[in-house]
Chain A
Amino acid sequence: QVQLVQSGAEVKKPGASVKVSCKVSGYTLTELSMHWVRQAPGKGLEWMGGFDPEDGETIYAQKFQGRVTMTEDTSTDTAYMELSSLRSEDTAVYYCATGTNWNDRYYYYYMDVWGKGTTVTVSS
């Protein structure tokens, strides 16, 4: 059973960067299609980027292009999401999520395993 364990809460100043980690257990990272989703206080879910099922590459939502970088360390089965030039509107809970329903050939189009989330607060 796949589990995603995220790093702890962060407090950052405007203009700084934050790097959130997501460690995989129960499987290897290379076999997973990882995504990052955020949720601002009282708001809905917002996909930031992740696995593109069309070509297997990492893609970013247009809103975050140029500010977000998603990487993977396969030696430790840990995925990372780094967001730069932080502003107050980036205050949110950041989730990593993946699809593991391998009985379904389209499993990578949705997310059935989620981390518990990492709270990032941007404040001066």
Chain B
Amino acid sequence: SYELTQPLSVSVALGQTARITCGGNNIGSKNVHWYQQKPGQAPVLVIYRDSNRPSGIPERFSGSNSGNTATLTISRAQAGDEADYYCQVWDSSTYVFGTGTKVTVL
């Protein structure tokens, strides 16, 4: 089965840039989607198909995907960006989620 690996945690200083990676075999050939989840809340889609932002998601959120790594970038990080982030792909009739990354804004 297909696996997606994310770092357990990422720390970023307020106003700086955070990069969250999602590793998978030849993930660059797949469409990657990203979700933000705050404590006690349902996930929210922040990036779909590698680099597209749903309406209402700030431009500070961007994504890229190539080779074996997809990346979610949060520019000018704010305190409100503290959350868990999950990548997701579709592979062989299965929706696969990454292991999740906790982002802390210092």
Question: Chain A residues in contact with chain B, CB under 8 A?
Answer: 35, 37, 44-47, 50, 52-54, 59, 61-62, 95, 97, 101, 104, 106, 109-112, 114-117
Distance between Cα atoms of A116 and B86 in the complex (Å): 17
For A53, A62, A104, A112, the residue with the greatest tally of chain B CB atoms inside 10 Å of its CB is A112
Inter-chain CB contacts under 8 Å: number: 63
24 examples of A-B residue contacts, CB within 8 angstroms: A35-B95, A44-B86, A44-B97, A45-B43, A45-B86, A45-B100, A47-B97, A54-B93, A59-B94, A97-B42, A101-B48, A104-B48, A106-B31, A109-B90, A110-B31, A110-B33, A110-B48, A110-B49, A110-B88, A112-B45, A114-B43, A115-B42, A116-B42, A117-B42
For B45, B52, B100, the residue with the greatest tally of chain A CB atoms inside 10 Å of its CB is B45
Distance between Cα atoms of A52 and B91 in the complex (Å): 11
Q: In the assembled complex, which residues on chain B have CB atoms less than 8 Å from the CB atom of A110?
A: 31, 33, 45, 48-49, 88
Q: In the assembled complex, which residues on chain B have CB atoms less than 8 Å from the CB atom of A117?
A: 42
Q: Who on chain A is nearest to B35 by CB?
A: A45
Distance between Cα atoms of A53 and B33 in the complex (Å): 16
